[in-house]
Chain A
Amino acid sequence: MLRAAKKLFKSNYLFTLGVIICVAWILAAVCAPLITQYDPIIQDLAHRLEAPSAAHWFGTDDFGRDIFSRVIYGGRYSLLAGLVTVVLAGVIGTFYGAIAGYVGGRIDNIMMRFSEMILSFPTLVLAMIINAVMGSNLFNTLFALVIVAWPKYARLMRSVVLSVKENDYVTASIALGASQMRVLMKEIIPNSINSVLIMATTDIGNQILMFSTLSFLGLGSAPPTPEWGMMVSDGVNYFNRFWISGFPGLAIFTMAVGANFIGDGLRDLLDPKLRKEF
């Protein structure tokens, strides 16, 4: 595994780039107060709507707040959203799918129809409704994201469990007298988890995007929290001052790109079919 990782770094520049980007964002988010001397929230109307300069690298917004500092602080929310959503949705979806696939029969059918109902739903509209039901704040936005995200894990997990169950190797071990529990633990779960991990790594980028989308629509934390999506929407009224929405948007983009590069690389590493080629 370690050797494979090394090889991954060497052969896949994009993966390396992704790691660099993400590490940089994590560091920036953690050490935000050290990086910038401006407070992301305190207003300074005397310097509103200023273009990028030496004093304000990314310019200032309509309240005269330093956009660079808001972008740096804002990374916290996006990182949090990406990770929390994927972990929760992954865990819920995995259990749900594993149960459905393992139990099978009518229960499987009902469970899967339910998850498919959510899948067939326009995601953004569903998230908006959930947000309206629960109220807008960071926690509820994450909740809405999880609700929208888990069914695809469930579906994946179920199909993997089903195919592993029918695997020649597995049927053979059952025929040879291995206990069902042992088969589940030794064969089904490890093989299935791999696929879920692959999906999860590539999903982090998606969730970061989805989170910023909701925040862009005003369905996130309340202002003046420096959330990137909200910052982009702040700039819509100031179209010719590109820096107001330009930099936060670039931030979302780079973080999502980083996460996706890593996800792609890891998939190459974890996917047994592709691994052969290394």
Chain B
Amino acid sequence: MDRLKFIGKRLVYMVIMMFGVATLVFLLTKMIPGDPVVANLGQRAMSDPEVVAAYRAKYGLDKPLIVQYFMYMKNLLHFDLGTSIRTNKLVRAELGRCFPATIELALVSIILAAVFGILFGVISATKRNSLLDQGVRAISVTGVSIPSFWFALLMLYFFYYKHHIFPGPGRLSNIYKAPNTVTGLYVIDALIEGNAAKAGDAFMHLLLPSIVLAAFTMGLITRTARSNILDVMSTDYIRTARAKGLSQNSLIMKHALGNALIPVLTVIGMGLGNLLGGMVLVETIFNWPGVGQFAYASVKANDFPAIIGVALLIALNYLVINTIVDILYGVIDPRVRYS
């Protein structure tokens, strides 16, 4: 019951936040000192008053700002995100097209980050201050310090350009046609089509960008796992257990890790949220047709319905993930109060 009430409260709160985000972005994009018409019409059409007027009328840009705002909000209440003024397609449809590409990438990279992050964290904490610990910490610091755009170029240079170990940018090699959309995740769609080679190719294309994306989150997870395991190890509870003569390894495995994993879970959740939000560069460099690339193009074109759409999508993700993490907290650790 407690949990249900919590989720209900969270939902209401999310709706409010969504409207807040939409308002904020609306205001911000309207503060950009450029006319969306200029950004989206050609070199001649932008100087043709008739064309400009038709364009404004089509997207409601001729109305006063406050009217535009309420029109947008009214539509939002009906889950209508409006029409992109750059591509003339429904923003919802555009997001539906790009989001699976981003999800596919984010999932692979969060799995990589979580597995290696926790592994490194455990190693590092068990062998505290040893050379191994310092080595692992160096790796994790590398992960959080390497500029993603540079890392991406570096990976492409070595693994694609110099030695053809991985394929280059894009979701599929040029010999393949995009699979028919079922889930939008190419690996799965290709498998559904029964084309294992295509699925393999799609998976190979995923690896380089997800390694690049995973680096930062992995560093964070390693860091958090290490310090939390150390934290838990220094609690009285573990001290007592140690006094009882339990070995260091079994202590970590049996007691410390379970407790230490809770904050790690938060980092993983936040990491996933950040991944979804921080894909602009990696998607651009790897020519990945996801939300990040869409967001970049939309900002460049001053396409406010599209920018708001992206912002809402990312914010919603962030909030949902946070809520799930909070609920999981309660599942893992019953002492947590929902407040």
Contact = CB atoms under 8 A, between A and B. Distances in A.
B31 A249 contact: no
Interface in A247-267: 249, 252-253, 256-257, 259-261, 264
A129 B32 contact: yes
B302 A120 contact: no
Contacts of A122: 276-278, 280, 295, 310-311, 314
B134 interface: yes
A13 interface: yes
Contacts of B138: 14
B153 A232 contact: yes
B154 interface: yes
B271 to A, nearest CB: 13
B210 interface: no
B234 interface: yes
A168 interface: no
Interface string B98-135: 00000000000000000000000000000011000010
Nearest to A128: B299
A181 interface: no
B147 A252 contact: yes
Contacts of B319: 120
A121 B21 CA distance: 8
Nearest to B223: A264
B234 A277 contact: yes
A259 B147 CA distance: 14
A232 B315 contact: no
Contact of B148 (A116, A213, A264): A213
A117 B20 contact: yes
A121 B29 CA distance: 14
B137 interface: yes
B32 A132 contact: yes
Interface string A182-223: 000000000000000000000001100100110011000000
Nearest to B135: A14
B182 interface: no
A124 B147 contact: no
B163 to A, nearest CB: 14
Interface in B121-169: 128-129, 134, 137-138, 141-142, 144-150, 153-154, 156-157, 161
B16 interface: yes
A154 to B, nearest CB: 16
A206 B146 CA distance: 10
B137 A14 contact: yes
Contact of B17 (A116, A239, A277): A116
A139 to B, nearest CB: 17
Contact of A121 (B147, B153, B156, B315): B315
Given A117-B24, A122-B277, A249 B310 contact: no
Contacts of A253: 145-147, 150
B230 A274 contact: yes
A120 B157 contact: no
Interface in A114-132: 114, 116-117, 119-125, 128-130, 132
A216 B149 contact: yes
Given A124-B281, A232-B150, A129 B21 contact: no
A168 to B, nearest CB: 16
A256 B146 contact: yes
B147 A249 contact: yes
A45 interface: no
B259 interface: no
B144 A120 contact: no
Contacts of B21: 117, 120-121
Contact of B157 (A133, A216, A233, A239): A239
Interface in A232-253: 232-233, 235-236, 239-240, 242, 245-246, 249, 252-253
B222 to A, nearest CB: 11
A50 B77 CA distance: 59
B231 A124 contact: no
A209 B16 CA distance: 32
B33 interface: yes
A242 B310 contact: no
Interface of B: 13, 16-17, 20-21, 24-25, 28-29, 31-34, 128-129, 134, 137-138, 141-142, 144-150, 153-154, 156-157, 161, 223, 227, 230-231, 234, 273-274, 276-278, 280-281, 295-296, 299, 302, 307, 310-311, 314-315, 318-319
8 cross-chain pairs, A with B, having the tightest CB-CB distances, nearest first:
A249-B150, A122-B277, A256-B145, A120-B315, A120-B318, A257-B145, A133-B31, A122-B314
Given A122-B311, A216-B149, A240-B161, 20 more contacts: A11-B129, A120-B314, A125-B277, A125-B296, A125-B307, A125-B310, A133-B31, A133-B32, A135-B33, A213-B147, A213-B148, A232-B149, A232-B150, A233-B149, A252-B150, A253-B146, A257-B142, A257-B145, A261-B141, A274-B230
Interface of A: 11-14, 113-114, 116-117, 119-125, 128-130, 132-133, 135, 205-206, 209, 212-213, 216-217, 229, 232-233, 235-236, 239-240, 242, 245-246, 249, 252-253, 256-257, 259-261, 264, 271, 273-274, 276-277
21 contacts: A113-B17, A114-B20, A117-B20, A120-B273, A121-B277, A121-B314, A122-B277, A122-B310, A128-B296, A132-B34, A133-B32, A213-B149, A213-B281, A216-B149, A232-B149, A233-B149, A249-B153, A249-B154, A253-B146, A256-B145, A257-B141
